[in-house]
Amino acid sequence: KVMEILAPLAQAVVVTRPLSPRAGAWEELATFARRYVEAVYLEREISAALATARRLAGPSDLILVTGSFYMVGEARACLVKEDSWAGCRILR
């Protein structure tokens, strides 16, 4: 349902593997995303997914991270520790 709402608003979607051992077939999310947007990327690591999103985004674009608390927490940890994200605002 979340993909159905958010993907039509995106120019690109980057799908990554959750760190949870209970994670399902995460690659299947790319299939759902392709119903709404052509530019869909798969990255195995959260840090690589963030790097891909940043490479694709323009200076005024928004990068939205969704998923479980574990996924978003790991993404936030990557963003906070990397100097290259110093200009980013992290919403709490």
pLDDT tens digits along 10-67: 999 999 988 777 777 888 889 999 999 999 999 998 889 999 999 999 888 889 988 8
The values of phi and psi at residue 54, to 5°, are -65, -40
The whole-number pLDDT of residue 40 equals: 96
- Cα–Cα dist 12/41, whole Å: 8
- Cα–Cα dist 38/34, whole Å: 6
pTM to 2 decimals? Answer: 0.81
Q: Would you say residue 92 has pLDDT above 50?
A: no
